[in-house]
Structure 1
Amino acid sequence: MKKKILIFTALVCMGVVTSCKEKFLETTPLGVGNEAMLSNKTGVNAVLIGAYSLLDGVGSGGTYFSAVSNWIYGTVASDDGYKGSDVGDLAQITTIEKYIQQADIGGFNDKWVSLYDGVSRSNDALRLITKATDMTDAEKMQATAEARFLRGWYHFEAKKMWNMVPYVDETVTDYVNLPNDKDIWPMIEADFQFAVDNLSATKAQAGRASKWSAKAMLAKTHMYQSDYTAAKPLLVDIVTNGPFSLVPNYHDNFRIATENNSESVFEVQMSVADGGSGENGSWGDNLNFPYGSGPGGCCGFYQPSQNLVNAFKTDAAGLPLLDTFNDTDVKNDEGLASSDPFTPYTGTLDPRLDWTVGRRGLPFLNWGVHPGRNWIRDQSFAGPYTFKKFFANSGDNAGAESPRANANNYRAIRFADVLLMRAEVAVEENDLATALTIVNQIRTRAATEVVKNADGTPAANYLVKPYPSFANQEYARKAVRFERRVELAMEGHRHFDLVRWGNADVVLNAYIAKEKLKRTYLNGAVFVKGKSEYFPIPQAQIDIMGSNVLKQNP
């Protein structure tokens, strides 16, 4: 199901007042979608599609700050990436990157409005379903379960951003007094549980939620509370009985031609050349292209960190350097002109690096060899790397309304994500054999496809191998978490993973201590435990509701 936009056009009475009959004031204008007109099967589906359409974060006024990819909050606010571009462009993101709590940054309000608009649209659907007379009980139940899945999704996103947030259901009528004085995890769980109990196991359209999508989100909800006991049966069920498997090649998770594949548990659908303006094409990420002569021609944001690139180094046995990966850097071309000679790093690397990061001297999909500095806006500010993972091949976005509109779906929940959560649970139960099997399954897949030069030879010295064993629980925990980082790098999860693991302050302050020697704008940055885990409640919302109703985070 590609994103569709519902447009309701109200007819305005033109001319002098006397030309309008008094009856006009009592008549619903043609084209206005009121409750009576929408309380039927067609109307319910249209409103439900409207709720789905906000999953990408675009449609309520925001773009970059409300993107479903969470590139700002999940990656830039972690050790995986930088804001990118140059020092002055969207400097508010640098403020977020440095963990400065500034509630009046407009982007926070963009994210809030987008998520609660999604909640509102889900609730609109729920109210209409009860009044529709042309829907069977089974159709009503399916639609209700989809709407509650979406309501749970939007609240989940708000919860992981701000922690203490209002929960809004279909009975709420006062939208100005919405206190954030309760932990809403139980309400989110209830929405996802209802979806688990009532959604079909198969989808009528690829972009809709299924019972399996709901199980994955309910499991993730438990994981965010470190409730491994509750998460385990859901994860075991998905892994054992679900219709999912790892696709043979890692990069098939990020190609337009292989969307909605066997590894897709839930994808946010994107489209171009659909009669719109390009906003259905991953528009929240439209800044995240190489600069200058690179594909897209703008804007140089979302650059991978040196720390992330270093995490893909492997030893002679093809294993990651869990404790020492950041001691020395993978060689890069920072400070060199594209015309200067440069030989890329020759040490061993996990091949997932070059499906995730664009670096000089290696093929950038089918766009040619990455030239380095000519594709970077300001190397001295944000380093030598470009984002690559969700980039489309040249020719894949035929007819796109903009060179930065991208029909590549956002893989919101991959089976690899589910497997790694299952491995986390196994580690916490000290079931190291299960954790080892899962991690090795993912590492084995990582080796099946590598970036190649035009002559068919590997573009770098790739070496990734399974672990022979996990010596103890501490080592296994470290290995599983590290695997999650490299497997899901630049997909918007890292900050939130560190927060739920409770080690964000340790990891991110160690990251800053070294990275600020390269990225001097990070001087003064500090992650404060008990404060920096969550973003500030948007000041604009506090101003609307009052600080006695909507309370700011610590």
Structure 2
Amino acid sequence: MKIILKQSKRYLAAIALFLLGSCSDNYLEQPALGALDDNVVANAQGVQKLLIGAYGALDGQQDADNALGGGGPWEAAPDNWVYGTVAGGEASKGSFGGDQPAIDQIVKFISNPTNGFYNTKWKALYEGVARCNNTLRLLGNVEDISDSERLNIEAQTRFLRGHYYFELKKMWNMVPWIDETTEDPKQPNNIDIWPMIEADFQFAYDNLPPTQSDFGRANKWAAGAYLGKTFLFQEKFPEARDILNTVTASGVNSGGVKYDLVPFFKDNFDAATENNAETVFDIQMVANDGTSTITNSNQGGKLNFPYNSPFRCCGFLQPSVDLMNSYKTEATTGLPYLDTYNQNPVKNDMGITASESFVPYTGSLDPRADWTIGRRGIPYHDWGNHPGIAWVREQSYGGPFAPKKNIYRQATQGIYADQSSWAPGTAINVHIIRFADVLLMAAEAEAQTGDLPAAMNYVNRVRERAANEDGFLKKYKDDSDPLAGFDEDQNAANYNIEPYTSTQFSSPENALKAIYFERKLELAMEGHRFFDLVRWGIAEETLNAYFDYQGNLTTDVRGGNFISGKNEYYPIPQAQIDLSVDETGAPTLIQNPNY
């Protein structure tokens, strides 16, 4: 059930604009100005609507036509497909070189502070901060609610503010802190805001109830998971271990269901089976909400469907050859090739026309590959076998593959797809944290603090779910008629995955290598990769090796170069620096190093 955002988002944008004032480019020059007197909204109903407005900013979309502030909606996409997935080497931008060329600059780390994508993302996140601050400021004047309801609202709001600032911190590192007590919003970015983010999540963890009336609202355990993630990003490994172990042992989702991995990996990426035991915190998406737009249907991902296909548009977010090769497993052990996965690559159809025959790869493979990556000759959910180059806009530029986790099913498209725009929307949620992520974060914390058996058990729990044979894709009975049905007796590929043994977890270094790789396999295409590489301190070596390998196969990343000491964080948007100029003519905001 997605009550908070399914029933409320239809009027959310109008409420947010009405109560919080219209948006401008200058988020630091003046506070959000209310169109109504505070006394009008300082009541139980008003503050709840303000809180819903704070939730509504999660999707990064302000109106039906574009993202907040006039940029394309993909510039502030909440799943960070540009900044986390493509920039992390999991996918090519896709389409062709002349389409959204600003993304090419970002993923090759040759962009500058004037790139408009950064400004759109910055504004979208600070809009969320502004909505949270307005909610907290007005909450103090509300008299017609109980103490418990007041505490619940405050804790939810601080959870959301923690999220928005977490996103800002991992994107730009040094960003200004503005809260409900700030009188002059033109604040410098010269302090580390981790302590404030940590305090918001700690307050939420201490004060949120374990369940909520609406599934989309944050609960105590979502706050605990996010607090653990905050510790992990700060390398506070003992603190991260303790809270993440508590969440894994005792946590329940907002509906009261104990956290667990759902039996089938694929069920996390189907609107019909989401909001399940694995849901820690999702951005709730909804199709066909009556607005005749896809603003609430993951508009930020509208480009990311196969080109010239039943989805109409637009050929972006093509999984990389490097990612596909990562899913190879050793035939005898069922384990991945941690260091040599790009040797003897998975066969693909690069350069093979649609009229030529093609037999897919028959080697040993992790089954998550085919729930993550669309490739020729393998069922593309229930749409038939992926036809290869016929659904690729420019194969030499972006490669042969298509994204899959974001793709709705043919059988249920009338419910979960939204065709109200020139590109489709979808009701598939955006995962901020799911339970598999929590398990792998807990594994990392355990390995960093010395308990390698515990770390291995967490990782193997994830791998054992991936090995559930009932969740494997099947070949179609009749390749000439892909809608004829599945052959239940034969898998679509030679799937082979096994748990790790103590041999691979014999040292912290070996354990961490396995954990890092498992995050790549499990969470691929979900926006985590770049930020993981940065916090692990291996972005330069990993991404430059990716550029060397992938650049020999596709033209999109040629010339890419990650520079340590610079590219760990994106440049502060020049537009925001210009707007931060004080009365002396000096900017309040300081640019990140080496830009």
TM-score, L = length of structure 2:
0.87
Matches of 1:119 and 1:471, distance apart in 2: 44
1:98-497 superposed matches below 5 A:
98-175=108-185, 177-242=186-251, 243-276=258-291, 277-292=293-308, 294-316=309-331, 317-398=333-414, 400=418, 401-402=420-421, 404-448=424-468, 449-453=471-475, 454-456=486-488, 457-469=490-502, 470-497=505-532
Residue 365 of structure 1 deviates from its aligned partner by 0.4
Q: Which secondary structure state, in structure 1, belongs to the residue aligned with residue 491 of structure 2? A: coil
Q: Paired residue for 1:40?
A: 43
Q: Which secondary structure state, in structure 1, belongs to the residue aligned with residue 407 of structure 2? A: coil
Q: Which secondary structure state, in structure 1, belongs to the residue aligned with residue 99 of structure 2? A: coil
Matches of 2:322 and 2:305, distance apart in 1: 20
Matches of 1:408 and 1:34, distance apart in 2: 38
Q: Which secondary structure state, in structure 2, belongs to the residue aligned with residue 266 of structure 1? A: strand
Where does structure 2 lack aligned partners over 5 or more consecutive residues?
19-33, 63-67, 252-257, 476-485
Matches of 1:289 and 1:390, distance apart in 2: 8
Q: How many residues align?
A: 532
Question: CA-to-partner distance for each residue in 1:277-310, whole Å, 9 max, x for gaps?
Answer: 1110011000000001x23211000011110000
Q: Which secondary structure state, in structure 2, belongs to the residue aligned with residue 522 of structure 1? A: coil
Query: 1:295 is matched by which residue type in structure 2?
Result: P
Q: Paired residue for 1:25?
A: none
Taking structure 1 as reference, are residues 144 and 91 closer, same or farther at Cα in structure 2, changes over 3 Å only? Answer: same
2:553 to 494, 518, 537: 518
Taking structure 1 as reference, are residues 92 and 355 closer, same or farther at Cα in structure 2, changes over 3 Å only? Answer: same
Matches of 1:142 and 1:74, distance apart in 2: 32
Query: 1:552 is matched by which residue type in structure 2?
Result: Q
Matches of 2:362 and 2:37, distance apart in 1: 64
Residue 6 of structure 1 deviates from its aligned partner by 4.3
Matches of 1:129 and 1:238, distance apart in 2: 29
Residue 34 of structure 1 deviates from its aligned partner by 3.5
Question: CA-to-partner distance for each residue in 1:318-341, whole Å, 9 max, x for gaps?
Answer: 110111101122111111121211
Q: Which secondary structure state, in structure 2, belongs to the residue aligned with residue 490 of structure 1? A: coil
Matches of 1:218 and 1:430, distance apart in 2: 21
Query: 1:84 is matched by which residue type in structure 2?
Result: G
Query: 2:529 is matched by which residue type in structure 1?
Result: R
Q: Paired residue for 1:534?
A: 569
Taking structure 1 as reference, are residues 521 and 278 closer, same or farther at Cα in structure 2, changes over 3 Å only? Answer: closer
Q: Report if the CA contact (8 A) 1:300-1:376 is conserved.
A: yes
1:548 to 587, 591, 594: 587
TM-score, L = length of structure 1:
0.94
Q: Paired residue for 2:55?
A: 52
Q: Report if the CA contact (8 A) 1:200-1:210 is conserved.
A: yes
Q: Report if the CA contact (8 A) 1:256-1:396 is conserved.
A: no
Where does structure 1 lack aligned partners over 5 or more consecutive residues?
11-30
Q: Report if the CA contact (8 A) 1:266-1:414 is conserved.
A: yes
Residue 390 of structure 1 deviates from its aligned partner by 2.1
Say which is worse superposed, 353-362 or 519-528, in terms of deviation. Answer: 519-528
CA RMSD in angstroms, aligned pairs only: 1.4
Matches of 1:117 and 1:251, distance apart in 2: 33
Query: 1:226 is matched by which residue type in structure 2?
Result: E
Matches of 1:49 and 1:121, distance apart in 2: 9
1:499 maps to 2:534: yes
Q: Report if the CA contact (8 A) 2:398-2:556 is conserved.
A: no
Query: 2:312 is matched by which residue type in structure 1?
Result: G
Identity over the aligned pairs, expressed in percent?
A: 49
Q: Which secondary structure state, in structure 2, belongs to the residue aligned with residue 390 of structure 1? A: coil
Say which is worse superposed, 395-404 or 42-51, in terms of deviation. Answer: 395-404
